[in-house]
Amino acid sequence: MKTASHYLLLTAIALLCVFPFWWTVVTALSTEGNVFAFPPTFWPKAPSLRNFAEAMEVIPLWDFFRNSVIIAACTVLWKLALCSMAAYPLARLQFRGRRLVFGLILATLVLPSEVNFLVNFITVTKLSLVDTYTGVILPNIVTAVAILLLKQAFEEVPQDLIDAARVDGASEWTIFTRIMLPLIAPWLATVGILTAVEAWNEYIWPSIVMSKPSEFPLSVGVLYLRGTFGSSTRVIAAGTVITILPTLAAFLFTQRYFMRGMDGAVK
């Protein structure tokens, strides 16, 4: 009975999470009926891909898609490189002020990201990075969460392996690149997936830094489906589905790495 109640609760939570996405898909595929009818429609009426085709005609969807891929890929690569290099000495090297540095990094978790927008925008402006991919990517390549996860991953590696490598004459860089990074691959995959999803879905910061529509990521560019004097809810829903599908597909194909990394992080 207890197990059944647990499954019932999990099923209810799953339905609550899935319903908004399913309703959006139904709206995007439907060509007839009232979009805002109550109770809502749970199956598309006269299903067609016409709304998706119209969304691709109204906005330069593939240009926005390309911009999002570039921003997400560069953010992932730089974050994995920099955060892993920051996490390794915090986890394995002994130096004065290590706990203080780690404490200051954790303290940044208290502040919401929106608090940094003004300072980041001034910095990006001074560096002449407005309307560039670098201006969007730069503030997001180092985060406390990524450093924390990777620090825990490095601490999971047995110290005997590191001591043996040092006895054999391996440098710290060799230990870091040849031993530690391959052993924490699941954690790297977890951070990479979380970063990719965050960079793909981010809206506020790119909309602040970017002013040229040709350089907008998909999350910002899809708003052009909302016209000045009118808009089609079905077309907007189709654009939203197109925006969501890449991250959903990426998670489905990489979920085993993600779950392995999260399991290690919990331990």
Residue 151 vs residue 35, higher pLDDT:
151
Q: Is the dihedral of CA 58, 61, 67, 68 positive or negative?
A: positive
Per-domain boundaries in the chain: 1-48, 58-266
Which pLDDT band, with edges at 50, 70 and 90, does 43 fall under? confident
Residue in this structure with the two tokens 């995007």, named with its chain if needed: 28
Residue 58 vs residue 130, higher pLDDT:
130
Q: What is the average pLDDT across 220-230?
A: 68
CB of 143 within 8 A of CB of 83?
yes
**233 pLDDT above the threshold of 90:** no
Residues with Cβ within 8 Å of 80's Cβ and at least 6 positions away in sequence, in order, are 188, 191, 192, 195
> In whole angstroms, what is the distance from residue 28 CA to residue 188 CA?
35
Please tell me the predicted confidence (pLDDT) of residue 228: 42
**169 pLDDT above the threshold of 50:** yes
Q: What is the pTM of this model?
A: 0.83
**252 pLDDT above the threshold of 60:** yes
CA 28, distance to chain mean position in Å, is 24
**Residue-wise pLDDT tens digits, 75-106:** 999 999 999 999 999 998 888 888 899 888 88
Rg (CA), the chain: 23
**144 pLDDT above the threshold of 50:** yes
Please tell me the predicted confidence (pLDDT) of residue 240: 85
How many CB atoms are closer than 10 A to CB 79?
25
Domain 58-266: what homologous superfamily? MetI-like (1.10.3720.10)
Comparing CA positions, the residue from 24, 25, 45 lying closest to residue 34 is: 45
CB of 67 within 8 A of CB of 215?
yes
Mean pLDDT across the chain: 84
**185 pLDDT above the threshold of 70:** yes
Please tell me the predicted confidence (pLDDT) of residue 266: 43
How many CB atoms are closer than 10 A to CB 185?
13
Q: Which parts of the chain are beta strand (E)?
A: none
Which pair of structure tokens corresponds to residue 177?
């690149």
> In whole angstroms, what is the distance from residue 209 CA to residue 186 CA?
33
